[in-house]
Amino acid sequence: MFREYTKALFKRVDARQLMQFKPPTLPQRIYTNTLKIDNAHYCAFCQEVDWPASEHPHPLYLQMLSLPLQMQCLLDKKSPFPLLGLIHAANKVSIIEHVNLSEPFECRVRFHDVRPHSRGWEVDVMLEALQSGQLVYRAISSYLVKVKAVHVAPFIAKKDVRDECDLQDRNLIEALRVNANTGRRYAKLSGDYNPIHLSSISAKAFGFKQPIAHGMWTLSRAVSAFVSHQEQAESLQVEEVTCRFEKPVFLPSDIHIHQHCKTHTHALLDVTDSDNSSTYLSASVVFFAKS
């Protein structure tokens, strides 16, 4: 996706839409593509994120494959949002029906929603994947567009389900070293060659002291760790993953993956630094385990 990032450098946006009180108008175009899964590529992805042997595909793989379509959507000539400078804020992935990697997917990507944020606007890009005309997968990626304008909403602390949990009871399920070349490895798989992930030199050009891991790599790795530590991991089916990214993971670094508030169908995950003082992401996983 070098071409897309080159286009992003020269994309001009109408900043006036971002300065108004009302939400900017979203383009209505739907970007489509038919994806056929390459088994070697999927196996390389599973190895990269340590996905256990499973009868179910990794729930974030299709979302990763949709990135070129998402880039096209964000580069739409009618989009008021600059691609460079967008902050990946959140994700929600829903597996609606059984996903068969041996069959092609009809993928559709479009802008979905936009809302005020205390730092600007938060905009959603939605992927819907169909097989044999039936919707099987939906993923919503939320991006923060930072703007200083009169429209921004004041920050209101939202009640989080974690407020009802005792974080002291969370269980460390994996501690791992994230190597310096993680960003380059994941870029090769995903096609996301954003300079902030590749090297110290390119990251510093965009205001980061070190390269940072792709948020979707960190989330994918956390979901893999969760599934690996469950009984009957090979048959456990993840139905929904909801995530909020809080801080970037600088490369290299040591991270901890925690599980807490687990029931028979739901669990919360956190990814923190090695001394548990800084949280990189918080996620919710809804799953189904065969009895």
pLDDT of residue 207: 85
pLDDT of residue 121: 85
Q: Which residues contact 107 (CB under 8 A, 6 or more apart)?
A: 32, 33, 34, 35, 62, 65, 66, 69, 127, 128, 129
Could you tell me the CA-to-CA distances from 14 to 5, 18, 77, 118, 147 in Å, in that order?
19, 8, 10, 21, 13
pLDDT of residue 176: 95
Q: Which two tokens stand for residue 198?
A: 């590749």
Question: What is the edge-to-edge ordering of all strands in the sheet holding 134-146?
Answer: 31-35, 105-117, 120-131, 134-146, 87-95, 237-245, 279-288, 266-273, 253-260, 171-178
Q: Which residues of 184-195 are buried (b: 16+ CB within 10 A; e: fewer)?
A: eebbebbebbbb
Those residues of the chain that have pLDDT short of 50 are 8-10, 157, 159, 161
pLDDT of residue 17: 61
Enumerate the domain spans of the chain.
2-17+29-288
> In 10 A of CB 29, how many CB atoms?
15
Does domain 2-17+29-288 match CATH 3.10.129.10?
Answer: yes
Please tell me the pTM assigned to this model: 0.89
Could you tell me which of 106, 105, 124 has the C-alpha nearest to residue 114? Answer: 124
pLDDT of residue 79: 86
The burial class, CB within 10 Å (0-12 / 13-18 / 19+), for 128 is buried
Report the DSSP beta bridge partners of residue 142. 90, 124
Q: What is the pLDDT of residues 167-187, one digit of tens each?
A: 567 899 999 999 999 999 999
What is the SS3 assignment for 93? strand
pLDDT of residue 11: 54
Report the DSSP beta bridge partners of residue 255. 176, 273
pLDDT of residue 10: 46
